[in-house]
A = this chain, B = another copy of it.
Amino acid sequence: MKKILVLTGGGDCPGLNAVIRAIVKRADHEGDVEVYGSIEAYSGVLRAPQEIIRLTNKTVAGIHVKGGTILGTTTKSDPFNFTITKENGEVETIDRSDEMVHMIKEMGFNCVISIGGDGSQRISKALFDKGMPVVGVPKTIDNDLSATDYTFGFQTAVQEATDAVDKLVSTAESHHRVIILEVMGRSAGWIALHSAIAGGAEICLIPEIPYDIEAVKERIESRYNNGRGFVNIVIAEGAKPKDGSITARKSDEAGYQNLRLGGVAYQLTQQLKNVGCKADIREMVLGHLQRGGSPNAFDRVLATQYGVKAMEMALAGDFGKMVTFKNNEISSVSLEAATEAYNNVDPLSYLVHAAKGIGISFGD
In the complex, what distance in Å separates the CA atom of A294 from the CA atom of B159?
Answer: 12
Contact (Cβ within 8 A) B25 A357: yes
Report if A65-B166 is in contact (Cβ < 8 Å); known contacts: A72-B176, A74-B175, A262-B262.
yes
1/0 per residue, CB under 8 A from B, across A281-316: the answer is: 011110111011110111011001101110110000
B167 near A293 (CB under 8 angstroms)? Answer: yes
Contact A197 B304 (CB under 8 A): yes
CA–CA, A175 and B8, complex, Å: 11
Within 8 A of B (CB), among A32-69: 62, 64-69
Q: Which of A124-132, A242-250, A327-335 contacts B (4 or more CB under 8 A)?
A: A327-335
Q: How far is the CA of A238 from the CA of B12 in the complex (A)?
A: 31
Kindly specify which of A93-101, A104-112, A348-356 makes contact with the partner chain: A348-356
Interface: A279 (CB within 8 A): no
Given B68, B288, B356, which contacts A29 in the complex, CB threshold below 8 Å?
B356
Q: Is A198 an interface residue (CB 8 A)?
A: yes
Judge whether B358 and A300 touch: CB under 8 Å.
Answer: no
User: Is A362 close to B, CB under 8 A?
Assistant: no
Interface status of A134 (Cβ within 8 A of chain B): no
Does B297 lie within 8 Å of A159, measured CB to CB?
Answer: yes
Instruction: Return the 7 tightest CB-CB contacts between A and B, nearest first.
Output: A167-B292, A68-B170, A67-B170, A68-B174, A167-B293, A198-B297, A25-B358
